[in-house]
Amino acid sequence: MIINHPYLGPRDLSEFVYKGDAELLKRPNWLSKTAQKDFHDYLYLRENPYGEHKELWYHEHGDRSWLVVTRNTVTNEIKMVELAKDYIAEESR
């Protein structure tokens, strides 16, 4: 599988490490009234999606950037690759 890095262009999968669901970037608010339940769900409950999914990847053997890769889990087709910092900024709007 080839990941098209936003800065470095196409890179082989072997340069990256899969770090999980990109939803992990959306950490719960520890001050909320439901913080205990929210953090339990955040830490222990995971989805196993069928189809399009946003994943967090780390470019370990490269520039050490964090990427959010939108990938179809059935076909392995990569639809979009973006820097995690851009994904977080976009989600917070």
**Torsion over CA of 27, 80, 52 and 73, rounded to 10 degrees?**
-100
For 26-42, write each residue's pLDDT tens digit. 889 999 999 999 999 99
Question: Residue 72: helix, strand or coil by DSSP?
Answer: strand
Higher pLDDT among residues 59 and 45, named by residue: 59
- Residue-averaged pLDDT of the chain: 93
Q: Name residue, tokens 């520890």.
A: 30
pTM of the model: 0.84
Residue 44 contacts residue 38 (beta carbons within 8 Å): no
90 pLDDT band (50/70/90 cuts)?
A: confident
Amino acid at 62: G
Q: What is the mean pLDDT of residues 58-71?
A: 97
Amino acid at 4: N
Q: What pLDDT was estimated at residue 88?
A: 86
Structural tokens at position 30: 């520890």
